[in-house]
Amino acid sequence: MFRELCGDKTLKNVVIVTNMWDEVSQEIGEAREAELASDDLFFKPVLDKKAQLFRHDNTLGSGHAILRLLIPNNPEALRIQRELVDEHMDISQTAAAEELNRELMEQARRHKAELLQLEEEMRTAIKEKDEETRRELEAEYKKLHKEMERVENDSKRLASEYNEEKIRLEQKMQEMAKQARRDIEAAAEKYDAQLREYQERLDESAAAFAADKEMLEKRMKEAAEQKKIEEKAAAEKYESQMNEYRQHVDNARNTSAAEKEDLEKRMQGLAEKAQRDNETAAARYEQQMATYRSQLDSTRAESAAEKARMAQLVADTQRRNEESRHALEQRSRGGGGLFGFIGRAIDSIFGM
């Protein structure tokens, strides 16, 4: 039964542990160990498939040594797992179930053969008028007949328990699937709500950036227009003063050379002052434009950072939703009670 449950391929991961070595002499223990390892009725078929036989002497070191034998093993699916999951067999079709039925049928066959033999002996005893032998055989017959009924009842009980367990397992799986669907729907609604919230925040951020950009562009435009107005006013003022000085020059043609020189110096100073004023205004304008451009770049950077953060939040939410959905689907495909049923079936065999 153990080999049918595991399958030959997985037996290389098996360690068979013997104990109670302190209760027998070394010679007796080794003789029994050799018999277990070499007899087909015991562990030889499993050891031939690369299982290991190990002694446990009830010490911590011995327990650690056994674990070190198991730790490097690569996990293998059991034969009954492959039959139920990959090959979609009913449990009654698996090799373990066939072995169970074979044991039951073999025992029933032996009992039936023994009954037939006892009936023949009873007929012989009756024929020979051996009343004592007849009574003994009759008692043995009743005992075997009762044992046969027990085997048949155990078989029926096992089949009934299997059907009940199968129904219970199917109901549990249906409940788990319904709960998983409800959990998936709830997670999807939560995910959609988060996405809507992130989209609204992203839209608000984009609207704020657009407003800031529009305000800064308006200020830059106003500054440019103000520059033109100031340049035009300065030019008009300069031209007015120059005309005034030219008028003075024209009126002072007959004045002294000293007065002419003074007027020319004043005109030269006025021209230089106008140039300085223009340069100062241009520098102030460029500084103002640089400030506005810096604010605009900062607003763009903040908007880009906010968009990147929101995109990361959306990606994280999608990942968590996918992980949650996958976990729920895995849980909805889970089962229970199968190996508990198999364990009870094994107990039934070896408890006969």
Is the residue at 174 inside a domain?
no
Same domain, 72 and 205: no
pLDDT of residue 48: 94
In this predicted structure, what is the pLDDT of residue 130? Answer: 67
Q: Are 74 and 67 in contact (CB under 8 A)?
A: no
The last residue of a domain, from among 53, 76, 99: 76
Half-sphere exposure of 84 (CA within 13 A, CB side): 17
Q: In terms of domains, do 323 and 194 share one?
A: yes
**In a domain? residue 123:** no
Model pLDDT, residue 337: 46
CA distance readout (Å), 292 to 193, 221, 225, 295? 38, 11, 15, 5
Which pLDDT tens digit goes with each residue over 268-320? 887 787 778 778 877 887 887 888 778 778 877 877 787 778 778 777 777 77
Q: Give the per-residue pLDDT at 1.
A: 80
Q: How far apart are CA 276 and CA 282, in angstroms?
A: 10
- pLDDT of 50: 93
CA dihedral 324, 327, 331, 334 (to 10 degrees): 160
Residue 339: predicted pLDDT: 46
Identify the H or E element spanning 305. helix 257-332
Rounded Cα–Cα distance for residues 300 and 201 (Å):
16
| Residue 254 scores a pLDDT above 90 | no
* Averaged confidence pLDDT in the chain: 79
Structural domain tally of the chain? 2
The pLDDT of residue 105 is above 80 = no
Query: How far, in Å, CA of 120 to CA of 126, rounded?
Result: 10
Listed as own residue / partner, the contacts of 171-178 with beta carbons closer than 8 Å and 24 or more positions apart are 172/335, 172/336, 172/337, 173/332, 173/333, 173/334, 173/335, 176/331, 176/332, 176/334, 177/332
Regarding whether 328 and 203 lie in a shared domain, the answer is: yes
Instruction: Assign residue 278 the CATH number of its domain.
Output: 1.10.287
Measure the CA–CA gap between 338 and 90, rounded to whole angstroms: 11
pLDDT value of residue 37: 95
Q: Quick one: pLDDT at residue 62?
A: 94
Ranges 121-125, 153-157, 252-256: which has the least confidence: 252-256
Answer yes or no: is 72 within a domain. yes
**Count of other CB atoms within 10 angstroms of residue 46:** 20
Let me know how many helices (H) and strands (E) the chain has, helices first. 9, 2
Per-residue confidence (pLDDT) for residue 352, from 0 to 100? 44
pLDDT at site 245 = 67
pLDDT at 86 over 80: yes
- CA nearest neighbour of 335 among 178, 159, 174: 174
Please indicate, yes or no, if residue 338 is contained in any of the structural domains: no
Model confidence band, residue 255 (pLDDT cutoffs 50, 70, 90): low
**Euclidean distance between CA atoms 189 and 155, whole angstroms:** 51
Give domain status of residue 173, yes or no: no
| Helix/strand/coil percent split, the chain, to 5 | 85, 0, 15
In the listed set 30, 47, 76, which residue is the last one of a domain according to the structure? 76
For residues 66 and 193, state if they share a domain: no
How large a percentage of the chain has pLDDT more than 90?
18
In a domain, 17, yes or no: yes
Tell if the pTM clears 0.75, that is, is over it: no
Which range in 22-26, 96-100, 117-121 is most confidently predicted, on average pLDDT?
22-26
Flag whether 4 is in a domain.
yes
User: How is residue 85 annotated by DSSP?
Assistant: I
Tokens of 141: 């017959």
Burial 190-206 (b: 16+ CB within 10 A, else e): ebeebeeebeeebeebe
Q: Could you tell me the residue range of the domain that residue 27 belongs to? A: 1-76
Q: Is the pLDDT of residue 92 over 80?
A: no
For residue 96, pLDDT over 80 is answered with no
Return the minimum-mean-pLDDT range out of 10-14, 57-61, 222-226, 263-267: 263-267
Do 191 and 69 have their domain in common? no
